[in-house]
Amino acid sequence: MPLLCLIAEQSIPPPPPVPAYTRWRAWGQAGRDGGLDPTTMARTSSTRAGRPTPAPLTPSPSLPGVLRLIWQERQISRADIARRTGLSRSTVSEIVSVLLPTGLLAEVGVGVSSGGRRPIVLQFQDDALGVLGIDMGAGHISAALTNLRGVVVAWEHRSHPVRSDPAGAVALMTELAARCVRQWGHKAERLLGIGVAVPSPVDLARPDELCDVILPAWRGVSVGAALRKRFGVPVLIDNDANLAALAERWWGLGQGVDDAAYIKVATGVGSGHIIGGRIHRGARGLAGEIGHLAIDPRGAACVCGLRGCLTTLVGAQALVARAQALSPAYPTSPLSRGDLTIGALEDAALAGDALALRVVDEAADHLGIAIANLLNLLNPALVIIGGGLARLGETLLAPLRRAVDRRTLITSVRSATIVTSSLGARAVAIGAATLMLERAFDEPTRFPTAAAGR
Ligand SMILES: [Zn+2]
């Protein structure tokens, strides 16, 4: 996350305290008796007039696997698809003939013969469609338009008091998305869809509603309605840490790692977990609220109503408050003079300032407790630290690894690699776009006829 965002987020007053943990629970229960299936909502929304007719993809059970294989290989012949999948040549030809008119594939030449006729090479068309990913943080909105290979072709970013101004945030989201589409230079009809990352747990039964315990001003506000209306494409919504984890899994350090965790440490603290190669959302989509693990039961009150949650110890506001409290003991520290912001604290730590390093060491110790618990519970092979604090790199990782080592006894658990995000500030937005891409690969009928939008 860029420095500017952190400063902006820091200046936003914290939400009013909500003492009753039951409110969180009540929110999590919402929609149990009804609510809309996000899949249904997305499908319905994609049928407005003007949208290209959905591709005539017959629901062959083998189609998703074949499409994914072509995407993975980038170029492959029908014969090789048959060899790799075990499908008959005629089934493969049939599936390819269904896929070719969509514009997702093109025949790009002939390959090397292994005895018979030279095979025609099929190539996945990365730029056939665009995907929009929106990262709505507590104090910023970013929009990334990617192609079908996760390459960002347009990017917009603004600071905005998202927590206190939902109407403005929804309008800004729409504006930044439209700007990205203009930069891209194609019609919105060529969008596969829009993914939106939100700084809140997302109840799978009501994905458009944010947790009103975390974001009380958003009560009754739909995150995705304006985007659906403006662009006429499916909109999917998920938690920001989940989507950053997904981005790392598809495009970053998590590639090839089936069990990984992403921990976002910024204004708030959250985590996303990849288990068996997929995001683990839990029964209701609320998994990964690592920020509300109780680290110190006698600690400060948290927004969720509990005490001593990880967020109250390593969230941006907590770190600034800790530096302020310690500053009299460090009169020569630059942090003891002037405005103390999370950005200034991070800069001072990177410059080796003793006060800042003490705050970071303490934060690493608290984060280490949470990560040690996580390793014992889920045994991920990789833990990726993201969010603003990740810019500290080894300054954070070294004390963090020591703290984790002290608290994990089993060597195999301790062997998890702990790193900082490779995708940086764009991880969440790219992950939001990837959510839509992943859904389309799971259900290829979601791919519109790309050629029709050209
Ligand atoms: Zn909490």
What spacing in Å lies between the alpha carbon of 305 and ligand 1's midpoint? 6
Q: Residue 256 pLDDT more than 90? A: yes
Q: Residue 20 pLDDT more than 50? A: no
255-265: average pLDDT:
96
Q: Do both 417 and 282 map to the same domain?
A: yes
In a domain, 366, yes or no: yes
Q: Do both 153 and 201 map to the same domain?
A: yes
Q: Residue 12 pLDDT more than 70? A: no
Give the model's pLDDT for residue 411. Answer: 66
Q: Final residue of a domain: which of 79, 97, 124?
A: 124
Of the ranges 235-244, 246-255, 321-330, 412-421, which one carries the lowest mean pLDDT score? 412-421
What spacing in Å lies between the alpha carbon of 291 and ligand 1's midpoint? 6
What spacing in Å lies between the alpha carbon of 204 and ligand 1's midpoint? 21
> What is d(CA 121, CA 105) in angstroms, rounded to the nearest whole number?
10
pLDDT single digits (tens) 203-213: 888 999 988 88
Residue 229, domain extent = 128-246+428-453
Q: Residue 421 pLDDT more than 70? A: yes
Q: Which residue has the higher pLDDT, 421 or 18?
A: 421
What spacing in Å lies between the alpha carbon of 209 and ligand 1's midpoint? 20
Total structural domains within the chain: 3
What spacing in Å lies between the alpha carbon of 288 and ligand 1's midpoint? 12
In a domain, 23, yes or no: no
Give the model's pLDDT for residue 57. Answer: 52
Q: Do both 366 and 293 map to the same domain?
A: yes
pLDDT single digits (tens) 317-359: 999 999 999 999 999 999 998 789 999 999 999 999 999 999 9
Q: Residue 300 pLDDT more than 90? A: yes
> What is d(CA 313, CA 98) in angstroms, rounded to the nearest whole number?
55
Q: Do both 197 and 268 map to the same domain?
A: no
In a domain, 2, yes or no: no
What spacing in Å lies between the alpha carbon of 338 and ligand 1's midpoint? 30
Average pLDDT, the chain: 85
Q: Do both 271 and 414 map to the same domain?
A: yes
- Enter the tokens of residue 36: 């809309």
Q: Do both 362 and 324 map to the same domain?
A: yes
What spacing in Å lies between the alpha carbon of 377 and ligand 1's midpoint? 20
Give the model's pLDDT for residue 273. Answer: 96
Quick one: pLDDT band at residue 58, thresholds 50, 70, 90?
A: low
What spacing in Å lies between the alpha carbon of 314 and ligand 1's midpoint? 12
In a domain, 132, yes or no: yes
CB neighbours of residue 433 within 10 Å = 32
Q: Which residue has the higher pLDDT, 6 or 445?
A: 445
pLDDT single digits (tens) 22-45: 333 333 333 322 222 333 333 333
In a domain, 3, yes or no: no
267-292: average pLDDT:
91
pTM over 0.95: no
What spacing in Å lies between the alpha carbon of 99 and ligand 1's midpoint? 48
What spacing in Å lies between the alpha carbon of 302 and ligand 1's midpoint? 5
Q: Do both 230 and 357 map to the same domain?
A: no
Q: Which residue has the higher pLDDT, 444 or 57?
A: 444
CATH number, residue 93? 1.10.10.10
Q: Which residue has the higher pLDDT, 48 or 262?
A: 262
What spacing in Å lies between the alpha carbon of 138 and ligand 1's midpoint? 16
Q: Residue 161 pLDDT more than 50? A: yes
Give the model's pLDDT for residue 450. Answer: 53
Q: Do both 446 and 400 map to the same domain?
A: no
Q: Do both 408 and 261 map to the same domain?
A: yes
What spacing in Å lies between the alpha carbon of 4 and ligand 1's midpoint? 26
Q: Final residue of a domain: which of 107, 124, 141?
A: 124
CATH number, residue 327? 3.30.420.40
Give the model's pLDDT for residue 211. Answer: 86
What spacing in Å lies between the alpha carbon of 303 and ligand 1's midpoint? 6
Question: Can you say whether residue 179 is alpha, beta or left, with left for phi > 0 and alpha for psi between -120 and 50 degrees?
Answer: alpha
Give the model's pLDDT for residue 59. Answer: 55
In a domain, 57, yes or no: no
In a domain, 34, yes or no: no
37-59: average pLDDT:
41
Of the ranges 60-74, 251-265, 319-333, 406-420, which one carries the lowest mean pLDDT score? 406-420
What spacing in Å lies between the alpha carbon of 298 and ligand 1's midpoint? 13
What spacing in Å lies between the alpha carbon of 300 and ligand 1's midpoint? 10
What spacing in Å lies between the alpha carbon of 360 and ligand 1's midpoint? 20
265-282: average pLDDT:
93
What spacing in Å lies between the alpha carbon of 399 and ligand 1's midpoint? 24
What spacing in Å lies between the alpha carbon of 332 and ligand 1's midpoint? 34
What spacing in Å lies between the alpha carbon of 307 and ligand 1's midpoint? 7
Quick one: pLDDT band at residue 413, thresholds 50, 70, 90?
A: low
C-alpha closest to that of 448 among 72, 133, 71, 43: 43
In a domain, 18, yes or no: no
122-144: average pLDDT:
96
Of the ranges 273-282, 302-311, 352-361, 405-414, which one carries the lowest mean pLDDT score? 405-414
Q: Do both 264 and 405 map to the same domain?
A: yes
360-379: average pLDDT:
94
Q: Do both 202 and 118 map to the same domain?
A: no
What spacing in Å lies between the alpha carbon of 137 and ligand 1's midpoint? 18
Q: Residue 10 pLDDT more than 80? A: no
Q: Residue 5 pLDDT more than 50? A: no
Q: Do both 417 and 351 map to the same domain?
A: yes
What spacing in Å lies between the alpha carbon of 8 and ligand 1's midpoint? 22
